[in-house]
Amino acid sequence: MNDTVHGLCRDLAAELLDRGWMLATAESCTGGLIAASCTDLAGSSQWFERGVVSYSNQAKAELLGVDPALIAAQGAVSEVVARSMAFGAARQSRAQVSVAVTGIAGPGGGSPDKPVGTVWFGFSVDGRLFSETVRFDGDRAAVRQATVQHALTRLLALVRAA
């Protein structure tokens, strides 16, 4: 974990602890890297509730309750799926906060509409859903690392604003 990610996790932990809130993650393209970054901190069990790696479409449906019809209609890398993943992570846990990521880390799998580096983020903070998309440059490792850093940065801002 780089120093920036470590600092983000430390700051997020402080904000969650101040509120008595727990965090759940739902990850596709990052394969659990957000959860791993959070749980690298000692004492994370006080604020990190669970993480789900839902890499396949079937896992998104079974573990998070994402409607397979939404995936079929919009694709796994879409706003509606990211929001559904974030909602499902919060609903299936005791967490008040969740973050979900679904994207195309590459090197293959991209399309003109969804090029490699496209990532959708879903956030649930105290019952409110937020989403956004970002396109990151670089190879697979760079896209995944940038996704982790962006997810934590945005989540921290949303928790602070709540």
* Alpha-carbon gap, residue 120 to 97, rounded angstroms: 17
Length of the chain: 162
**Which pLDDT band holds residue 76 (cuts at 50, 70, 90)?**
very high
Write down the mean pLDDT value for the chain.
97
Tokens 């590459």 label which residue?
A: 106
Report the domain count for the chain. 1
| Closest alpha carbon to 101 in 158, 40, 27 | 27
Structural domain boundaries enclosing 7: 3-135+144-161
Share of the chain above pLDDT 70, in %: 100
pLDDT in tens, 115-130: 999 999 999 999 999 9
R_g of the chain computed on alpha carbons: 14
CATH of the domain at 103: 3.90.950.20
At residue 1, the pLDDT reads: 74
Q: Would you state the pLDDT for residue 127?
A: 96
pTM, to two decimals: 0.97
